[in-house]
Amino acid sequence: MPITRLYEQVGATAAVFLVRQQYTLMSPRISLGMQTDLSRQSFYLGPWHIQPMLNRMEGASGTIVLEPRLMRMLVYLVEHAGAVVSRDELMEAVWEGTIISESSLTSSISELRRLLQDDPQNPRFIETIRKRGYRLVASFTLVDEVPVVTPAPLSMALRF
């Protein structure tokens, strides 16, 4: 449904809420044709509050400061949530043209998994797709800067 029609149907506050809800359920690259720079936007990834601008993540076990390249890797995977990201694509995006070995990438993925308390055998965050790359399997939610008033339930808001 076009955003203008959605706005007419449910009003401004509800339209913003519904767009944000859909936005958090899908990869930002494909959701409603919008793109966002997640390197500047805080978000929740499972139990973790990720703050890319500060290179840190907070959870029940405390605050962890990540190396910038690990944060870039995490943000890139979140930006492509659900999609398989090839090793080459990840190396290009994170190391920005610097030539590295595949073992450096593997080591960085292992470190990121360790910090997220993820298990490669039973992944909750990063899944290895053999011979193809990696895929973020956890859902994420953007942190709203401004509180959003909760509209009527979705089933009622979109009723025609």
Asked whether the predicted pLDDT for residue 44 surpasses 60, the reply is: yes
Asked whether the predicted pLDDT for residue 31 surpasses 50, the reply is: no
Q: Report the amino acid identity of residue 151.
A: P
Residue 101 is assigned to a structural domain of this protein = yes
Identify the pLDDT of residue 8.
53
Rounded CA-CA distance 117/18 in Å is 32
**Which of the residue ranges 15-29, 53-67, 117-131 would you say has the lowest mean pLDDT?**
15-29
Q: In what order do the strands lie in the sheet with 43-45?
A: 62-65, 56-59, 48-51, 43-45, 140-142
Supply the range of the domain harboring residue 46. Answer: 36-146
Q: Read off the CATH number of the domain in which 70 is found.
A: 1.10.10.10
Asked whether the predicted pLDDT for residue 18 surpasses 70, the reply is: no
| Residue, of 68 and 157, whose pLDDT is higher | 68
Give me the phi and psi of 9, to 5 degrees please: -70, -45
Q: Report the amino acid identity of residue 90.
A: L
Residue 93 is assigned to a structural domain of this protein = yes
Q: What is the DSSP string of 74-89?
A: HHHHHHTTTS-EEHHH
Q: What is the pTM of this model?
A: 0.68
Q: Report the amino acid identity of residue 44.
A: Y
| pLDDT tens-digit series, residues 68-120 | 999 999 999 999 999 999 999 999 999 988 888 889 999 999 999 999 999 99
- Number of domains observed in the structure of the chain: 1
- Confidence at 67, pLDDT banded by 50, 70, 90: very high
| pLDDT tens-digit series, residues 122-150 | 999 999 999 999 999 999 999 875 443 44
Sign of CA dihedral 77, 40, 52, 90: positive
Residue 19 is assigned to a structural domain of this protein = no
Residue 5 is assigned to a structural domain of this protein = no
Residue 155 is assigned to a structural domain of this protein = no
- Confidence at 15, pLDDT banded by 50, 70, 90: very low
Residue 27 is assigned to a structural domain of this protein = no
Give the 3-state secondary structure of residue 148. Answer: coil
Q: Report the amino acid identity of residue 20.
A: R
Residue 22 is assigned to a structural domain of this protein = no
Residue 3 is assigned to a structural domain of this protein = no
> Do the Cβ atoms of 39 and 28 come closer than 8 Å?
no
**Which pair of tokens denotes residue 60?**
């029940």
